[in-house]
């Protein structure tokens, strides 16, 4: 979904032709898996960070086109809504001092972007859900002026037969709402972590990423409020799952498959299984026809981009050779740059350690338990009860401190991450867990002391975010 498209309207023949090409490319990809055609190189890291533009009243500022033009950075792109932008980093080998290089690269781009924002009397905010966003902000008037977003909105509504999207989230409070478009999705801003892996580890890495989702959400939760309602620790999860819901309205869908989901199961023999599922269970959403060879997999990659599994396999190319990436999508943006890089360090270390275990982790934890863990962590954050590989249910805090942080440290060591650097970033996670203070906990503590003024909350949050300190050091 990253590339722009030339058309926003499609004919029936477009859908038929796209599906034919999708089937051809899916068969070609299966052949590549059988022939082991993928880049066998060492692990590579990357990320995408979504952020908000806010005005002097700390309300969403729908001016991303002007902001991006003025900034002129090749690493910053528009998002679905005109008040959101996305920061990227060039992929880096996952070894040595990569964590500080990630932090330095993001900090440099963020500093330049903040300067541009301030020249426009704006501010930048990285948080899972902006506390001051209102239902009225999430309207088609604030849809970015790009064909891909207009087409996405139109096709999702077409599949629903024009029926509104219904939001129903039960947390500390209950929120129910209806929307006639997909703009609810734009309220969910994420830190998406990428891990390129050699093909022989692809299945293990995909399943390990799936299992790691719950503890990663527990430590990183940063989205407790939506429209002033106190909901889940990571309200992005139910909000995104419901904001692009087409489910039972999809014609020719084989079973109750959702386009935003935790997935239908672990991969078994090959990641090809996921792309076959894409073809067989999900109708085409954006039938953009590319005049490129099948070997570019343009139709397969676009179709995959319209399916938002929380862990998503991706196909990319290095100098014409295909590679395999895992995109871990569960982490919210923020609270600070150092927190963001610490979240990535924890994920890379835990995922890699699980990949290296003698017995595959997926053989020791049923998929249904991994899925239940994920939703428990999203709802309760560090207060969640999680089932681990031994089958025992235990508090997320003790599981993280006694088992998962040492495991992540071994994973970073196996990757060749510089020891002091690994200790620094995992130490941030450890302190966050010991103090039971992720972003969601800090926001709730602030509101408990100062009252439910979302503008005051965001002002205090941004003041501390821009200090650069990790969230466990923030005062109330």
Three-point CA angle 385, 390, 396, nearest 5°: 25
Confidence bin at 9 (pLDDT 50/70/90) = confident
Q: Which long-range contacts (CB under 8 A, 24 or more apart) does 462-469 make?
A: 462/58, 462/123, 462/125, 464/335, 464/336, 465/125, 465/126, 465/334, 465/335, 465/336, 466/114, 467/336, 468/336, 468/337, 468/338, 469/336, 469/338
Q: Under DSSP, is residue 52 helix (H, G, I), strand (E, B) or coil?
A: strand
Q: Cα separation of 439 and 431, whole Å?
A: 13
CB distance 71 to 112 below 8 Å: yes
pLDDT per residue as tens digits for the range 401-430: 999 999 999 999 999 999 999 999 999 999
| Pair type for strands 123-125 and 393-395 | unpaired
383 domain-assigned: yes
Nearest to 220, CA basis, from 442, 395, 54: 442
| Pair type for strands 308-309 and 260-261 | parallel
Q: How many domains does the chain have?
A: 1
Weakest mean pLDDT among 75-89, 233-247, 360-374: 233-247
157 domain-assigned: yes
Q: Cα separation of 174 and 168, whole Å?
A: 7
- Structural domain boundaries, residue 132: 12-466
> In the chain, how long is the greatest CA-to-CA distance?
61
Q: What are the phi and psi torsion angles at 226 (to 5°)?
A: -140, 125
346 domain-assigned: yes
Three-point CA angle 435, 436, 439, nearest 5°: 110
5 domain-assigned: no
474 domain-assigned: no
pTM for this model (two decimals): 0.95
What CATH number did the domain enclosing 48 receive?
3.30.590.20
Residue with more model confidence, 207 or 163: 207
251 domain-assigned: yes
1 domain-assigned: no
Confidence bin at 63 (pLDDT 50/70/90) = very high
472 domain-assigned: no
The chain-wide mean pLDDT, for the chain, equals: 93
Q: Quote the pLDDT of residue 156.
A: 77
pLDDT per residue as tens digits for the range 205-237: 999 999 999 999 999 999 999 999 999 999 999
């Amino acid at each position: 979904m990253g590339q722009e498209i030339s058309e926003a309207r499609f004919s029936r023949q477009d859908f038929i032709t796209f599906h034919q090409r999708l089937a051809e490319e899916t068969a070609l990809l299966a052949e590549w898996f059988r022939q082991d055609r993928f880049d066998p190189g060492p692990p590579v890291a990357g990320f995408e960070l979504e952020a908000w533009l806010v005005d002097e009243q700390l309300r969403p500022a729908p001016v991303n086109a002007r902001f991006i033009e003025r900034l002129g950075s090749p690493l910053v792109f528009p998002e679905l809504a005109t008040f959101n932008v996305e920061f990227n980093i060039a992929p880096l080998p996952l070894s040595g001092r990569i964590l500080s290089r990630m932090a330095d690269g993001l900090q440099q781009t963020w500093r330049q972007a903040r300067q541009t924002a301030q020249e426009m009397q704006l501010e930048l905010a990285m948080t899972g859900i902006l506390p001051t966003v209102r239902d009225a902000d999430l309207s088609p008037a604030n849809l970015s002026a790009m064909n891909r977003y207009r087409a996405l909105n139109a096709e999702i509504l077409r599949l629903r037969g024009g029926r509104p999207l219904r939001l129903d989230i039960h947390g500390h409070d209950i929120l129910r709402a209806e929307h006639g478009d997909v703009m609810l999705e734009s309220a969910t801003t994420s830190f998406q972590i990428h891990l390129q892996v050699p093909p022989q580890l692809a299945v293990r890495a995909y399943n390990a990423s799936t299992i790691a989702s719950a503890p990663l959400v527990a430590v990183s939760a940063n989205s407790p409020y939506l429209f002033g309602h106190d909901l889940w620790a990571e309200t992005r999860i139910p909000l995104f799952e419901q904001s692009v819901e087409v489910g039972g309205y999809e014609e020719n869908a084989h079973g109750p498959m959702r386009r935003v989901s935790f997935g239908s199961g672990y991969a078994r023999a090959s990641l090809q299984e996921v792309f076959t599922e894409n073809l067989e269970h999900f109708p085409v959403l954006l039938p953009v026809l590319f005049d490129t060879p099948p070997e570019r997999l343009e139709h397969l990659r676009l179709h995959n981009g319209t399916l938002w599994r929380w862990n998503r396999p991706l196909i990319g190319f290095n100098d014409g050779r295909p590679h395999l990436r895992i995109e871990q999508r569960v982490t919210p943006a923020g609270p600070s740059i150092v927190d963001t890089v610490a979240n990535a360090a924890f994920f890379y270390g835990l995922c890699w350690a699980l990949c290296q275990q003698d017995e595959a982790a997926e053989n020791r934890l049923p998929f249904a338990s991994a899925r239940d863990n994920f939703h428990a962590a999203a709802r309760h954050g560090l207060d969640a009860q999680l089932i681990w590989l031994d089958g025992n249910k235990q508090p997320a805090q003790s599981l993280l401190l006694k088992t998962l942080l040492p495991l992540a440290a071994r994973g970073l060591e196996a990757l060749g991450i510089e020891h002091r650097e690994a200790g620094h970033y995992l130490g941030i996670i450890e302190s966050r867990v010991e103090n039971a203070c992720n972003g969601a906990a800090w926001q709730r503590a602030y509101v408990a002391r100062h009252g439910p003024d979302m503008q005051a909350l965001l002002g205090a949050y941004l003041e501390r975010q821009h200090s650069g300190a990790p969230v466990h050091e923030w005062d109330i």
